[in-house]
């Protein structure tokens, strides 16, 4: 078990040096041959420690004499791992969490501080008012998921002291920057913001999109059932199946090689339905890589017509090419470059999809470190880019054609404000409701006509999307 924790420590050390959490994790897992249970433990410890970083730092601040930012970085990482297990992992006995963390300190250059590490973690347990085995499950059937984020069920008394200010309280308790909490509070209010925080700290689910050109949802369900993989359908989405529980390696799930399905979250599947592409049309996906929505568009068109898939990142476009080949799609043409500089597409497209680069604040459960990488300044910069993209790529649409703008963020500066500014400058464009496709009810309860998917309400990634129509008399 210590081996798994050592691997988690190595990955987290890379994250604190600037690596993306998923990249750092993949790097350490590729070098070893671990049992599935150990792989899951490493993954849980890495993503969990990154997600809960602010809470874990606050515990160090409140219990140790030196603040977290004054601790040596590697020691701080080791303490994160110890506190994360004590606070959020019900199935790890407290004694195991303490002893393995002390061992980590010994093995990674802190043998002189093992007493400090031991004392700090035991002080946490004393403040919690429980014995050292306090967070051992009462029976073998106890869930393996982390205990409730707002009040860890393993604790009699929560050692974490919280301020009264609601922004700081939610930020420390659920481990988000204050500015992010503020953005959500302004849109949702206190109770819904807390639910959103809790949802974002869950482990992500995996959704499949069935390739209806070569199979049916019934056939895929039957194949997965035969392989012992549990799935459920998702309302409003005729091609979607959600995996229930762990299914192992994606490439080993029945139908992967045959192109029966691709991985795509439910919210992202809604976007192509809003675009509603028709067979024989010309469609431009202006920020296409890695191609989830591009390939969905091709499937919805029956693979008849032409789809220009544009992106400025060749490596991500290669992923799109691999996906379209695996799904056996012929209608996709790849075009490398920045869509803001293209002139050859003017007035050529029946439909344009602008799935804009964004802060990704709707998908933070998938990207554990996104909450620490984005800032109000980075959001402002993205908002400028998004306005430039929609202004230019809207010229690709023929008169009478459609543009769908979508992001996987929940920040108004990247969503509502971008669309409002565009419409104010573009009298020949208007918002249009979708036709012939039923959206989740509460996703489109906006009087303006745009769609906002709130994860804690729809149980899918956070998304914003709007369908715009260019009037026929546009030049």
Looking at the DSSP bridge assignments, the partners of residue 233 are 241
Two structure tokens written together for 134: 């306090």
Strands (E), 245-363: 261-263, 282-285, 306-311, 332-336, 349-355
Instruction: Match 């990674």 to its residue by tokens.
Output: 108
SS3 231: strand
What H or E segment, with its residue span, contains residue 394? none
Q: Are 210 and 223 in contact (CB under 8 A)?
A: no
Instruction: Match 């998304």 to its residue by tokens.
Output: 463
State yes or no: is 37 an active-site residue.
no
Q: How wide is the angle at C-alpha 435 spanned by C-alphas 265 and 448, nearest 5°?
A: 80
DSSP state string for 400-423: EEEEEEEES---GGGTHHHHHHHH
SS3 16: helix
Helices and strands (H, E) in the chain, number of each type: 18, 12
Select from 47, 171, 100 the least CA-distant residue to 79: 100
- The distance from CA 162 to its chain's CA centroid, rounded to whole angstroms, is 27
- The distance from CA 404 to its chain's CA centroid, rounded to whole angstroms, is 21
DSSP 339: G
SS3 6: helix
- As a whole number of Å, the end-to-end CA separation of the chain is 67
Separation in Å, CA 440 to CA 85, 157, 187, 236, 238: 37, 40, 19, 7, 13
Q: Are 453 and 461 in contact (CB under 8 A)?
A: yes
The active-site residue, picked from 287, 310, 358, 408, is: 408
- Cα 363 from Cα 6, distance rounded (Å): 28
- Cα 323 from Cα 319, distance rounded (Å): 6
Cβ neighbours of residue 31 closer than 8 Å, sequence gap 6 or more: none
Q: What is the dihedral of CA 8, 172, 181, 143, to 10 degrees?
A: 60
DSSP state string for 71-132: S-HHHHHHHHHHHHHHHH-TTS-HHHHHHHHHHHHHHTT-GGGHHHHHHHHHHHHHHTT--T
Two structure tokens written together for 8: 């988690």
Phi-psi region of 269 (alpha: psi -120 to 50; beta: other; left: phi over 0): alpha
Name the residues annotated as catalytic. Answer: 408
């Amino acid at each position: 078990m210590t081996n798994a924790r050592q691997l988690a420590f190595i990955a987290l050390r890379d994250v604190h040096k600037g690596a993306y959490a998923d990249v750092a994790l993949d790097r350490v897992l590729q070098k070893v041959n671990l049992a599935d249970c150990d792989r899951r433990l490493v993954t849980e410890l890495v993503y969990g420690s990154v997600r809960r970083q602010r809470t874990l730092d606050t515990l160090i601040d409140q219990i140790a004499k030196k603040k977290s930012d004054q601790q040596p970085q590697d020691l701080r990482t080791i303490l994160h791992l110890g506190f994360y297990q004590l606070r959020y992992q019900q199935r790890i006995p407290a004694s195991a969490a303490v002893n393995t963390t002390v061992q980590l300190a010994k093995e990674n250059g802190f043998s002189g501080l093992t007493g400090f590490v031991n004392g700090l973690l035991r002080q946490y347990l004393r403040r919690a008012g429980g014995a050292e085995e306090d967070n051992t499950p009462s029976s073998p059937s106890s869930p393996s998921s982390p205990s409730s984020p707002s009040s860890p069920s393993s604790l009699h008394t929560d050692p974490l002291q919280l301020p009264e200010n609601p922004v700081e309280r939610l930020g420390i308790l659920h481990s988000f920057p204050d500015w992010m909490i503020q953005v959500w509070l302004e849109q949702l209010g206190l109770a819904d913001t807390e639910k959103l925080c809790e949802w974002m700290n869950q482990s992500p689910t995996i959704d499949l999109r069935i390739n209806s050109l070569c199979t049916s949802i019934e056939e895929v369900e039957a194949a997965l059932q035969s392989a012992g993989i549990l799935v459920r359908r998702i309302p409003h989405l005729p091609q979607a199946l959600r995996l229930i529980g762990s299914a192992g390696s994606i490439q080993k799930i029945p139908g992967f090689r045959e192109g029966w399905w691709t991985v795509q979250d439910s919210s992202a599947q809604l976007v192509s339905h809003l675009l509603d592409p028709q067979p024989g049309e010309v469609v431009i996906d202006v920020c296409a890589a890695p191609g989830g929505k591009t390939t969905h568009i091709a499937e919805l068109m029956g693979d008849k017509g032409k789809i220009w898939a544009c992106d400025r990142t060749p490596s991500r476009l290669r992923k799109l090419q691999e996906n379209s080949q695996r799904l056996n799609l012929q209608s996709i043409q790849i075009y490398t470059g920045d869509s803001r500089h293209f002139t050859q597409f003017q007035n050529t497209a029946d439909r344009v999809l602008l799935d804009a680069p964004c802060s990704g604040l709707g998908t933070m459960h998938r990207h554990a470190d996104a909450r620490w990488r984005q800032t109000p300044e980075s959001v402002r910069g993205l908002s400028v880019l998004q306005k430039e993209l929609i202004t230019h790529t809207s010229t690709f649409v023929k008169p009478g054609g459609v543009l769908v703008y979508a992001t996987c963020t929940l920040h108004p500066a990247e969503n509502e404000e971008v669309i409002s500014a565009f419409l104010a400058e573009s009298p020949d464009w208007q918002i249009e409701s979708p036709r012939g496709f039923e959206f989740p009810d509460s996703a489109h309860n906006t009087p303006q006509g745009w769609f906002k998917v709130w994860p804690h309400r729809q149980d899918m990634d956070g998304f914003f999307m709007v369908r715009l129509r260019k009037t026929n008399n546009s030049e």
